[in-house]
């Protein structure tokens, strides 16, 4: 792995040390694959340990002879400044954002695949993750699986290319808040400005126009206890919110094509 991609600072790579426990580099052996070595501490092979790490972290390295991609899952609720109880599956923004920064800086990674199945959550935390994804220079692709609801919408469109499976759904509704709300104009003005920030991000990172998106957000004839819309995969692509219908093979094909362009440019500049 290190020789193939030209990894710099092998001993101090934060990605290797902190974020991808599944990757093992065999220093000085010239080997760049994961071998089923027996662990002295656990007696398990490295492949068994890797499977355990994937179950714990919800992330994986997709490695082949040509490229290395990182697969990141955004699932459950997007956890913000308050810790949710342990009965809920959550995505913690304070874990995801440093991981994305490390992926951007790592010479081992050629692209990032983001799997989305979230019911939404903290608006500012979700928008922060989306902004970081959108600012990455490495090829990124998102796939909506199951659901990409509420703040999951900007997360889905933040990647350079977005896919959705036909059976997935996306809920579009106005921003809401919980707890005490003062009945003063400033409070409602704050919510309106927050909604505008979300809409501007979505419109600028997808093909849906603002008028269409606002009409979907304000519909009153679809949701029983709320206003808004629910789009399936075909509806999300038809309105331009998501780029195209597709799954894992389509996302991998896109990442391979995009990473190939970058490598071609690097070779031509040498």
150 catalytically annotated: yes
Q: Which two tokens stand for residue 161?
A: 């290319």
Among residues 67, 68, 73, 150, the one annotated as catalytic is 150
The terminus-to-terminus CA distance of the chain in angstroms comes to 21
Distance CA 180, CA 75 (A): 28
Do the Cβ atoms of 168 and 233 come closer than 8 Å? yes
Burial class (CB in 10 A: 0-12, 13-18, 19+), 31: middle
CA distances (Å), 77 to each of 66, 155, 197, 241, 243, in order?
Answer: 35, 12, 20, 21, 24
Distance CA 218, CA 119 (A): 19
Among residues 73, 106, 149, 173, the one annotated as catalytic is 173
DSSP letter for 150, please.
Answer: T
Distance CA 208, CA 198 (A): 13
Helical packing angle, 93-105 and 123-135, nearest 10°: 0
Half-sphere exposure of 266 (CA within 13 A, CB side): 9
149 catalytically annotated: no
Do the Cβ atoms of 189 and 195 come closer than 8 Å? no
- Catalytic site positions: 150, 173
């Amino acid at each position: 792995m290190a020789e193939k991609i030209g990894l710099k600072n092998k001993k101090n790579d934060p990605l290797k040390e902190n974020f991808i426990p599944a990757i093992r580099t065999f220093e000085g052996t010239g080997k760049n694959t994961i071998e089923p070595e027996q662990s002295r501490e656990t007696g398990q092979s490295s492949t068994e340990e890797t499977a355990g790490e994937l179950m714990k972290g919800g992330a994986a390295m997709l490695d082949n002879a040509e490229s290395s991609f990182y697969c990141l899952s955004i699932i459950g609720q997007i956890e913000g400044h308050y810790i949710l109880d342990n009965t809920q599956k959550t995505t913690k923004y304070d874990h995801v954002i440093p991981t994305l920064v490390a992926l951007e800086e790592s010479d081992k990674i050629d692209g990032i695949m983001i799997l989305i199945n979230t019911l939404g959550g903290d608006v500012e935390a979700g928008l922060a993750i989306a902004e970081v994804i959108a600012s990455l220079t490495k090829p990124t692709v998102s796939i909506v699986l199951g659901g990409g609801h509420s703040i999951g919408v900007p997360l889905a469109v933040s990647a350079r290319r977005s896919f959705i499976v036909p059976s997935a759904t996306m809920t579009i509704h106005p921003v809401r808040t919980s707890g005490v709300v003062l009945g003063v104009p400033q409070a409602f003005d704050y919510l309106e400005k927050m909604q505008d920030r979300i809409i501007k991000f979505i419109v600028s990172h997808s093909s849906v126009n603002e008028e269409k998106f606002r009409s979907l957000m304000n519909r009153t004839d679809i949701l029983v206890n709320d206003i808004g819309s629910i789009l399936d995969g075909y509806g999300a692509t038809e309105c331009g919110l998501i780029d195209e219908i597709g799954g894992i093979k389509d996302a991998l094909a896109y990442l391979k094509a995009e990473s190939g362009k970058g490598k071609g440019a690097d070779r031509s500049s040498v």
